Amino acid sequence: MFEHRWVSLWIALSILLSCGNIFALDDPLPSWNEGTAKNAILQYVKETTQEKDPNYIIPEERIATFDQDGTLWVEQPLYPQFVFILDRIKALAPQHPEWQEEEPFKSILAGEAGSLFQKASMKQMSAIFSAAQTDITTEQYAEIVKAWVKTAIDPKFKKHYTDLVYQPMIEVINLFKKNGFKVYIVSGSGQDFIRTYSEEIYGIPPEQVIGTAEKTSYTYLNGKPVLMKLPQLFFTDDKRGKPEGINLVIGRRPVAAFGNSVGDQQMLEWTQAGKGKRLEMLVHHDDAVREYAYGPESKIGTFSEALMAEAKERGWIVISMKNDWKVIFRK
């Protein structure tokens, strides 16, 4: 009799455990403080994934998009891809003696790149981007980026950029993935750049990365087919380019979108304008102690007053890094 009871209990426990997280023992967002932002995320995932809920969304339609720079990892004092480009210009300089006299290359080589982002013309910026990233094959480019990512160190935190990923956002990505959402990065940075590390650091495969892209050309090198990266911008995945890029690559409207700046405004609008329950959130960099506090005046990651006003008007949730996040960086 006594033995039977234990066996029954053991069977009952086995069944319960095998059915998963019935008692919700684990908090899927442990790095988030309790509050509006955390609740909104948990509530959204709960409502949209329970079949009996009026806000239920079928798995096929569960598309969540995340901006990268400033939303998933550090973007100050310069976007990491921009640091890569400056480093690459320096590395290529010996093959280009003419750069010593030619702007904007001259300033970069003289170590005066800091102000470049503010003062360079679009044409000059495009010259740097092309010099650093094109006229090589897609595979050569990927190798160069991979090597750079392994060695480059952020000037403030003295860590690799891939260590400066926001732990609370990784938890959100994982929560979405666990609940059948397809998670995309939708970034103004280059998609060929992000795709070299997205799977390893975010768990997001290359085919779920949408970003700014150069044209490529299919050709043959030593009899082998290759794709050459051309010095020609194909697509800018920023501002209105974000919904356009989402439509180009995904062909469906996201149901949830996360950003942090004016570059994400249209992606959030586009997401919200669809039918059914939607979620739009903006990361606000208001933590000068643990990361940065920057707002309307910043040229990088601008969170304009108009964006803040639109967020309030439309019910977009602003995430305070200072108040909502227990930790900033990935442990």
Residue numbers at the binding site for a second copy (CB under 8 A): 60, 63, 138, 182, 191-192, 195, 199, 205-207, 209, 213, 215-219, 224-225, 227, 234, 240-241, 243-244, 247-252, 266, 269-270, 273
* Tokens (6 digits) for 199: 């799977």
* Tokens (6 digits) for 62: 């569960």
Of the pair 156, 314, the CB lying nearest a second copy is at 314
Of the pair 60, 98, the CB lying nearest a second copy is at 60
Shortest Å distance, C-beta 331 to a second copy: 25
What is the spatial distance between Cα 173 and Cα 124, in angstroms, rounded to a whole number?
Answer: 36
Cα separation values, 232 from 7, 131, 229, Å:
69, 11, 8
Cα separation values, 164 from 74, 168, 234, 236, 279, Å:
6, 12, 29, 25, 25
- Bridge-based pairing state of the strands 209-221 and 224-235: antiparallel
What is the spatial distance between Cα 200 and Cα 71, in angstroms, rounded to a whole number?
Answer: 17
What is the spatial distance between Cα 316 and Cα 268, in angstroms, rounded to a whole number?
Answer: 8
Of the pair 184, 303, the CB lying nearest a second copy is at 184
Residue 303 half-sphere exposure, CB side, CA atoms within 13 Å? Answer: 21
Shortest Å distance, C-beta 244 to a second copy: 5
What is the spatial distance between Cα 36 and Cα 312, in angstroms, rounded to a whole number?
Answer: 14
- Bridge-based pairing state of the strands 256-259 and 63-66: parallel
Shortest Å distance, C-beta 186 to a second copy: 13
Q: Which residue has the tokens 């227990």?
A: 326
Of the pair 58, 147, the CB lying nearest a second copy is at 58
Of the pair 67, 291, the CB lying nearest a second copy is at 67
Q: Are 52 and 194 in contact (CB under 8 A)?
A: no
Of the pair 213, 308, the CB lying nearest a second copy is at 213
Shortest Å distance, C-beta 247 to a second copy: 5
Shortest Å distance, C-beta 274 to a second copy: 10
Shortest Å distance, C-beta 290 to a second copy: 33
DSSP sequence for 11-76: HHHHHHHHT--TT--S-S-TTBPSSHHHHHHHHHHHHHH-TTSTT---GGG-EEEE--BTTTB---
Of the pair 184, 258, the CB lying nearest a second copy is at 184
Q: Cα 286 to chain center, whole Å? A: 19
Shortest Å distance, C-beta 11 to a second copy: 16
Of the pair 86, 186, the CB lying nearest a second copy is at 186
Shortest Å distance, C-beta 225 to a second copy: 5
